[in-house]
Amino acid sequence: MKNKYLIITVAAIITMALLTQCESLMPKETKGDIFGVVIDSKSGEPLPDVFVRVKGFPMTAKTDFIGGFELKGLEEGQYSVYVMDANYSEDATDVLVKGGETSYMELPVKLNSEPVGGILAAKVIEYSAKYVKFRLDFFIADDDALVTNIRKSDIDIEDSKFPSGNVYNFSKKSLFLESLDNRGAYSADLVLDQSGSINDTDPNNLRLDAVKIFCSNLANSDYVLLSAFASGGILSYDITKYGDFTNNGKSYFSTIESLKDKVDGGTPLYQATAVAISTVYKEGPTSNKAVVIFTDGEDTEGGWSIPELIDFAVSKGVRIYTVGLSSGINNKVLSRLAVKTGGAFIKAYNAPQLVSAFGTLGRILEGTAQIYSGVWTAHTSDDSFPGWFQTSIKVNYKGEKLYIPFHLDVNAYSKSSKLKHFTNEVITKSID
């Protein structure tokens, strides 16, 4: 019996040895795979339908509806993977590939952004036939931060020649940092222009990604409603409301994505603004009520005048914030709608500036931001001023020039007029 067990044991040892030898003779697997997920670094949401690439290799993959991708058959070693998309930075993430294994990775990406500025107030302080003294309140945003460290010498208004032939000479009198009045949690109707011209001004739909940033930054006590407008096109009405006010901004993400395929028709800007004012007045759950309008052009449908819209918004206690994209927007119209209702006018010269605009707009709405307040004096070459003029603040920032356009109603001068975003107008810090 003992000999039987000994024979079995020896046979087992010999078998194992043979198997081990066979395995050693088999070729080693030298290739592995990568499975990954692309996510937005700010919202944490997966990104569908974007292409990823292995740096230095002609190997690409497209993410599925949950942001997943696969790269197969890579030799062992370390690789750098990045997103190929004009809207996002090309920062790469490294991953180690081992033969015969699948390596998992998360690929966080960030929307491209550029600094942008906005006007909150343009008010005439003194007015005569020889000069106009005026105050401008404005902010500067870079990505998701408000910029408060710019020197006085880096902010100015260039002398300008206007179509009338008059030359305006500007001299800066003072510049300060001020804190807005804290207005608390807000209810904002976010109104998107979906007219046909958007295909030309924002072909990569970066405005929709920027809107997601705004929705992602909602505090628990802030509320947002998503609306869109266009006429005679894909949308059923001049303005379409999606759902109700919510403090879960991410719940709108799928709707925002669907708007990429709903661009057509004219621009009923005035009618849409009027409906949005009424909606946020009646349905907004907080006392701080606002309409945020994104557009790339002028109204094409009529129905309301600018003075009527301003009076309507003021009577309902609703501030209007206008965000314009492209050189084709009407600065005068969008500036008047915003400034005269206590809101803000932001002009984005390109789509990446929208990311900075929407990334910081929530703090402007809440009144928790610090802004710049400057006083300038303008003289003309013939000592006469028209009823209004417009030009731009020039800011030297990070070695580049940033322009913030503004419109000044000279005829609106009144000693008793107050700025709508301050109650006390207390100066908090002088800029050197």
Long-range pairs for 145-151 at CB < 8 Å and ≥24 separation?
145/360, 146/360, 146/363, 146/369, 146/370, 146/371, 147/115, 147/397, 148/177, 148/370, 150/372, 150/395, 150/396, 150/397, 150/431, 151/431, 151/432
Structure tokens at 322: 């206008």
Shared-domain flag, residues 187 and 295? yes
Strands (E), 204-348: 223-229, 239-246, 288-295, 318-325, 344-348
Does the predicted model carry a pTM greater than 0.85? no
Q: Is residue 257 part of a domain?
A: yes
Shared-domain flag, residues 188 and 81? no
Shared-domain flag, residues 223 and 345? yes
Ranges 54-58, 188-192, 307-311, 379-383: which has the least confidence: 379-383
Q: Residue 164: pLDDT band by 50, 70, 90 thresholds?
A: low
| 78 has a pLDDT exceeding 50 | yes
Q: Is residue 422 part of a domain?
A: yes
pLDDT score at 431: 59
Name the domain count of the chain.
Answer: 2
Q: Regarding predicted confidence, which is higher, 141 or 389?
A: 141
| 239 has a pLDDT exceeding 80 | yes
Shared-domain flag, residues 92 and 199? no
- What average pLDDT does this structure show over 201-209? 81
Q: How far is it, in rounded angstroms, from Cα 73 to Cα 309?
A: 62
CATH of the domain at 45: 2.60.40.1120
Q: How far is it, in rounded angstroms, from Cα 341 to Cα 321?
A: 9
Q: Residue 238: pLDDT band by 50, 70, 90 thresholds?
A: confident
Shared-domain flag, residues 226 and 96? no
| 420 has a pLDDT exceeding 70 | no
| 428 has a pLDDT exceeding 70 | no
Q: Is residue 318 part of a domain?
A: yes
pLDDT score at 34: 95
Burial class (CB in 10 A: 0-12, 13-18, 19+), 144: middle
Whether 404 and 117 have beta carbons less than 8 Å apart is answered as yes
Q: Is residue 403 part of a domain?
A: yes
Whether 201 and 325 have beta carbons less than 8 Å apart is answered as yes
Q: Regarding predicted confidence, which is higher, 92 or 198?
A: 92
71: enclosing H helix or E strand: strand 68-75
Q: Is residue 123 part of a domain?
A: no
Q: How far is it, in rounded angstroms, from Cα 335 to Cα 269?
A: 14
Shared-domain flag, residues 184 and 68? no
pLDDT score at 416: 47
Q: Residue 42: pLDDT band by 50, 70, 90 thresholds?
A: confident
pLDDT score at 383: 65
Q: Regarding predicted confidence, which is higher, 287 or 30?
A: 287
Q: What is the pLDDT of residues 290-303, one digit of tens each?
A: 999 998 878 888 88
Shared-domain flag, residues 101 and 187? no
The two most distant CA atoms of the chain are separated, in Å, by 125
Q: What is the pLDDT of residues 87-100, one digit of tens each?
A: 888 889 999 999 99
Please give the single-letter amino acid code of residue 153.
S
Phi first, then psi, for residue 367 (nearest 5°) are 80, 30
| 335 has a pLDDT exceeding 70 | yes
pLDDT score at 10: 47
Shared-domain flag, residues 211 and 302? yes
Please give the single-letter amino acid code of residue 298.
E
Q: How far is it, in rounded angstroms, from Cα 64 to Cα 41?
A: 18
Q: What sign does the CA torsion over 401, 405, 411, 413 have?
A: negative
Average per-residue pLDDT for the chain: 85
Long-range pairs for 315-318 at CB < 8 Å and ≥24 separation?
316/277, 316/278, 316/281, 316/289, 317/281, 317/287, 317/289, 318/277, 318/280, 318/281, 318/289, 318/290, 318/291
pLDDT score at 370: 93
| 432 has a pLDDT exceeding 60 | no
Please identify which residue in the block is written with the tokens 């990604």: 209
| 26 has a pLDDT exceeding 80 | no
Q: Residue 40: pLDDT band by 50, 70, 90 thresholds?
A: confident
Q: How far is it, in rounded angstroms, from Cα 227 to Cα 252?
A: 10
- What average pLDDT does this structure show over 7-29? 55
Please give the single-letter amino acid code of residue 358.
F
Shared-domain flag, residues 318 and 415? yes
- What average pLDDT does this structure show over 137-159? 92
- What average pLDDT does this structure show over 390-396? 92
Domain limit, last residue, from 109, 139, 157: 109
Shared-domain flag, residues 374 and 288? yes
pLDDT score at 304: 92
Say whether 426 sits in a helix, a strand or coil. Answer: coil
What stretches of 35-185 show up as alpha helix (H) in DSSP?
Answer: none
| 202 has a pLDDT exceeding 50 | yes
- Provide the residue range defining the domain that includes 389: 179-430
